[in-house]
Amino acid sequence: MTPQELERVVGGFQPSIVILAANHAGVFTTLVGSPMAPDALAARLGLDARALATLADALVCLGALERRDGLLAVPEALRATFDPASSTSMDSAFTHQWHVLQRWARLDAVLETGRPLPRGRQDDEQLRAFILAMADMARRGAWTLWDNVDLGAFGHLVDVGGGPGELTLAALERFPNLTATVFDLPDVLPIARGYAAGRAVGRRLDFKVGDALKSRIPPCDVALVSSLLHSYGPDGVAKIARNVAAGVRPGGLVLIREFMWDDEAHSGPPTTALFAVNMLSGTPDGQCWAPSELERIFGGAGFGDWGSHRLDARTSLLVGVRAGR
Ligand SMILES: C[S@@+](CC[C@H](N)C(=O)[O-])C[C@H]1O[C@@H](n2cnc3c(N)ncnc32)[C@H](O)[C@@H]1O
């Protein structure tokens, strides 16, 4: 890294916070509806006019907004990103990033204690934003995932820690003979049910409350474990591996989809290293894993014959087969 690159990285928080704060205040979703004058926008959103005008100047200079005849507008290229109704919307993902940012700003405290920061009072709103953010991100990754795994010959899938269930909804759309269960914690399932409502394949999907640390998953041919294991340390992951193995029939599959390290020496990629910092700030013992570590732990629970796929710069997929007859 050169000194110039270092300075650019260090200053990177400024544009990020300007965009996330504007998103959190509703600037983009409002302007997606129709362009508005800065004063009118401030009045609509209950914001200070001078503050909004200053932020708007920055947003226009950054290219996140544009001015048309004195009105602020969302550029055409970003409309779908900021429109909550679009299938490529990042509205919830950005709202979640705003909450994540609050934790990252207190990384100094985490560094002293090694403990995650206490959760704030906005828990319900934050949980909902988190789960819908997972949907925003899963919509992008779902096709790549199912391009790499053919579930045409399998009957029932359990999505362990399935969150909004977007990956599974995409699987149901791809594989017409598949049925599925989203298995998740009690607070999350009402959000998942609401998210799946209205999707035609939803009639092949059910929901089961459960804690993968404490109880076996429902019987299935395939268990999908996506973006769950980074929330836990070695003991938690070993418990989850045993509870997953107890549900998958012999010859069935576990699909582990995670932001993984390249190797156990943590050589890269940088995106995984930064995600590990995120888990440090948000969980007592969460971390990112190398494929070999997960194969060892899930191997101890009865899975083997591993295959692996790189899905994108930081996401990998491990496919293991349940031993036994
Ligand atoms: C990061 S989200 C991933 C959602 C989804 N699997 C995906 O990849 O888009 C993690 C999910 O795991 C769930 N979860 C965390 N711990 C769990 C546990 N012990 N048992 C069941 N679900 C759990 C969370 O509630 C959340 O919905």
Render 263-309 in DSSP notation, one character per residue.
Answer: STT----HHHHHHHHHHHHH-SS---B-HHHHHHHHHHTTEEEEEEE
CA–centroid distance, 119 to ligand 1, in Å, is: 17
Over residues 55-72, mean pLDDT: 98
pLDDT-based confidence at 198, cuts 50/70/90? confident
**Both structure tokens of 251:** 């010859």
- pLDDT confidence of residue 125: 82
Q: Find the 184 Cα to ligand 1 centroid distance in Å.
A: 6
Contacts (Cβ under 8 Å, ≥6 apart) of 215: 243
Cis peptide leading into residue 269 (ω within 30°): yes
Ligand 1 and 315: CB distance under 6 A: no
> In this structure, which CATH number among 3.40.50.720, 3.40.50.150, 3.40.190.10, 3.30.70.1530 belongs to the domain 140-267+282-322?
3.40.50.150
Residue range 217-227, pLDDT digits in tens: 999 999 999 99
Candidate from 137-141, 225-229, 304-308, 314-318 with smallest mean pLDDT: 137-141
pLDDT at 228 over 80: yes
Q: Is the model's pLDDT at 118 over the cut of 80?
A: no
Q: What is the pTM of this model?
A: 0.94
Asked whether the predicted pLDDT for residue 16 surpasses 70, the reply is yes
Q: Name the residue ranges covered by the structural domains of the chain.
A: 3-82, 140-267+282-322
DSSP secondary structure string for all residues of 236-254: HHHHHHHHHHTTEEEEEEE
Write out pLDDT tens, residues 124-160: 888 888 999 999 999 889 999 999 999 999 999 999 9
Q: Is the CB of 243 under 6 A from ligand 1?
A: no
**What is the architecture, at CATH level 2, of domain 3-82?**
Orthogonal Bundle (1.10)
Phi-psi region of 324 (alpha: psi -120 to 50; beta: other; left: phi over 0): left
Tokens in use for 180?
Answer: 């599925």
Residue 295 burial (CB count, 10 A):
18
Is residue 241 within 8 A of residue 256, CB to CB? The reply is: no
Q: Distance of alpha carbon 146 from its chain centroid, rounded?
A: 17
Q: Give the sheet arrangement for strand 315-322, strand by strand.
A: 205-209, 179-184, 156-160, 220-226, 248-259, 315-322, 303-310
Report whether residue 163 contacts ligand 1, using a CB cutoff of 6 Å.
yes
CA distance 265 to 267: 6
For ligand 1, say whether the CB of 97 is within 6 Å of any of its atoms: no
| CB 161 less than 6 A from any atom of ligand 1 | yes
What is the per-residue DSSP string for 83-110?
Answer: -TTSTT--HHHHHHHHHHHHHHTTHHHH
Residue 290 near ligand 1, beta carbon < 6 Å? no
Atom 1 of ligand 1, residue of closest alpha carbon? 227
Question: The dihedral of CA 152, 155, 161, 163: what is its sign?
Answer: positive
Angle at the Cα of 244 (from 157 to 119), degrees rounded to 5?
Answer: 100
3-state class of 69 per DSSP? coil
* Strand 205-209 with 248-259, pairing: unpaired
Answer yes or no: same fold for 3-82 and 140-267+282-322.
Answer: no
Q: Is the CB of 134 under 6 A from ligand 1?
A: yes
Q: Is 228 touching ligand 1 by the criterion CB < 6 Å? A: yes
Residue range 41-66: average pLDDT? 98
Q: What is the Å distance from ligand 1's center to 217 Cα?
A: 13
Ligand 1 pocket test: pick from 143, 181, 226, 231 the residue with the most ligand atoms within 8 Å of its Cβ. Answer: 231
* 181 touches ligand 1 (CB under 6 Å): no
The SS3 of residue 3 is helix
